[in-house]
Amino acid sequence: MANSASYNKRQVEKNKRAKRKEKLKKKEERKNAPKSTFDDMIAYVDKNGVIISTPPDDTNPEESGPDESGPDESGPDESEEKD
């Protein structure tokens, strides 16, 4: 009976060493892996609503919406305020 107890202890220690070794291996792999930057995480949406990884090409300002064209130059109608 004493032999089986010591055998179990050896097996437990062997399993612990194996797990520890595997854990260190994974840690080294994560450490040596290339770092992701903020630019890698950026996603853009094109005019059709599709998510893309490159910034959209804004060479045609006529196609842009009214939000991007700037403020309206007509201003408020001053004739109504002078009554």
pLDDT tens-digit readout, 48-83:
889 988 887 776 655 555 555 555 566 566 555 555
Do residues 74 and 80 touch, judged by C-beta distance below 8 A? no
pLDDT of residue 4: 79
Give the torsion sign (CA, 41, 44, 45, 51). negative
Q: How many domains does the chain have?
A: 1
User: What is the average pLDDT value for the chain, to the nearest integer?
Assistant: 79
Residue 37 structure tokens: 């930057």
Domain assignment of residue 22, yes or no: yes
Parent domain of 32: 1-56
Would you say the pTM of this structure is higher than 0.85? no
pLDDT of residue 53: 85
Domain assignment of residue 73, yes or no: no
Residue 38 has pLDDT above 90, yes or no: no
Domain assignment of residue 29, yes or no: yes
Domain assignment of residue 63, yes or no: no
pLDDT band at 9 (very low <50, low <70, confident <90, very high): very high
